[in-house]
Structure 1
Amino acid sequence: MILFEDPTIEELFSNYEEPYKSKLLEIRELIFACAEINSEVGKLKESIKWGQPTYSTLETKSGTPIRIDRFGESDIAIFFNCHTVLVEFFREIFSKELNFSKNRAIIINPLHKLPITQLEFCISSALVYHKDKIRTLRTYGM
């Protein structure tokens, strides 16, 4: 498990009920793992924005922030900047595997197993969005 550098963020996670807490922690680990395998990302900054755990590439400015939180009564979400084309891009590729909310989030049922392969792609894409945007969009014909 990736240790928390900020006790405020650790406390935020401790306040989530199960099964939300364990799934959000699993997604947190996945975000850090995706960042670690890509040298363009650099060290992630974990913070709280809008009351939600947020992951930013402040060191390299390679990507757009990712936020995670509960969504509605029974789900959780991975939020992306709505001013990007990321969710539209993910929807074109994973419309059968993932659920989305407008142009801002991937919605996940915390009672189901995480679709790791798809989420790794989405998270990695967000972490290098500013560096890789043109190449990625051309690859997928956007």
Structure 2
Amino acid sequence: MEIRELIFDVANGLDKNVEESLKWGELSYVVKGGTAVRLAWSEQAPNSISVFVHCQTKLVDTFREVLPNAFDYIGNRQLQFDCGSTFPEAALRTSIGVAFTYQQRKALPLLGM
């Protein structure tokens, strides 16, 4: 619930309306001009929470470079962190904000981060 609140807070700060839905059994959040952000928990990694972004974006590669220690990065679409401790709020807030403004950032070096 804290991460959900963070997502809505980031969108509100960007003056964007969030569409919340279920995609593939996972919570999905979309704003106009951005790319979708999904939240997931898996039995394969029961102590972790994952945030997914679209695999055809530069988001995860850029986050790896700019925020190298914020998450465990898996492939080109997944940010993972331990759910047993405090989640990386500042890094997650930044990442969601960049995802929600992706269309205007995608041509910028390091997505303008």
* TM-score (norm. length: structure 1): 0.72
Q: Does 1:53 align with 2:37?
A: no
- Looking at structure 2, the residues matched to 74 and 137 of structure 1 have their Cα atoms a distance apart, in angstroms, of 30
Give the secondary structure class of the aligned counterpart of 2:20: strand
Aligned length: 111
Deviations 1:38-66, CA, capped at 9 Å, x for gaps: 12xx2100000011000011xxx210000
Q: Which runs of 5+ in 2 are unaligned?
A: none
Name which of 11, 19, 26 aligns with 1:35.
11
Q: Which runs of 5+ in 1 are unaligned?
A: 1-24
- The CA deviation at 1:108 is 1.1
Give the secondary structure class of the aligned counterpart of 2:108: helix
* TM-score (norm. length: structure 2): 0.90
* RMSD, matched Cα: 1.5
- The CA deviation at 1:116 is 1.0
Q: Which has the higher contact order (CA 8 A, sep 6+)?
A: 2
- Looking at structure 2, the residues matched to 96 and 135 of structure 1 have their Cα atoms a distance apart, in angstroms, of 22
Higher strand share: 2
* Structure possessing the higher radius of gyration over alpha carbons: 1
Higher helix share: 1
